[in-house]
C-alpha cells in the first residue's frame, strides 16, 4: 500500500504533501518520509505505518469508488434538474428518478 495512504490513515486526514509531509524516493522505488511538519501527531515509525496496511488499502479503494461514483452521477446541473422534476411530480423520496439513479450508482459501486 502507498505510503501516502498510510499517512492519511495515521493522521485521520489528508495532509499537505508539499509543506506538511514531504515524501521522497530512495531511487529503488521505496518511498520514505523526508520531512514531517505535521503538528497534530508525531512522525510515525515504519512499524506504525505497516500496521495500517489494511486500513490504507480500504481508504485507497474507497477513493477509487468515490471517483467512479462522481463520474456516474453526472453533471450537478442535470442532477438539480432531475431533483426539480421529482419535486414537481411530488416524488422527492425513493420513488423519484434522481433517487433511483443515485441508488443504482451506489449499488453498482459499493464502498468497502
- Kindly state the cell numbers that stand for 34: 523526508
Pick one of 3.30.56, 3.40.1350, 1.10.10, 3.10.50 as the CATH number of 1-64. Answer: 3.30.56
Could you report the per-residue pLDDT of 76-101, keeping only the tens digit for each? 999 999 999 999 999 999 999 999 99
Print burial letters for 98-107: b (CB count within 10 Å at least 16), e (below 16): bbeebeebee
High-pLDDT (> 90) share of the chain, %: 96
Candidates 41, 5, 6; CA nearest to 20 is 41
What's the pTM value of the predicted model, to 2 decimals?
Answer: 0.69
> In the 8-state DSSP scheme, what is residue 17?
T
Question: Is 80 exceeded by the pLDDT of residue 45?
Answer: yes
Cα-based torsion angle of the residue sequence 35, 40, 46, 47 in order, rounded to the nearest 10 degrees? 170
Domain positions in the chain = 1-64, 74-112
> In the 8-state DSSP scheme, what is residue 7?
H
> For 25-44, what is the mean pLDDT?
95
pLDDT band at residue 1, thresholds of 50, 70 and 90? Answer: confident
Amino acid at each position: 500500500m502507498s505510503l501516502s495512504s498510510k499517512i492519511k490513515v495515521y493522521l485521520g486526514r489528508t495532509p499537505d504533501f508539499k509543506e506538511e509531509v514531504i515524501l521522497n524516493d530512495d531511487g529503488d522505488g521505496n518511498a520514505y518520509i523526508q520531512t514531517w511538519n505535521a503538528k497534530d501527531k508525531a512522525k510515525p515509525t515504519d512499524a506504525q505505518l505497516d500496521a495500517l496496511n489494511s486500513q490504507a488499502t480500504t481508504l485507497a479503494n474507497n477513493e477509487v469508488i468515490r471517483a467512479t461514483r462522481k463520474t456516474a452521477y453526472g453533471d450537478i446541473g442535470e442532477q438539480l434538474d432531475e431533483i426539480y422534476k421529482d419535486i414537481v411530480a411530488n416524488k422527492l423520496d425513493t420513488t423519484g428518478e434522481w433517487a433511483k439513479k443515485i441508488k443504482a450508482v451506489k449499488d453498482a459501486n459499493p464502498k468497502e
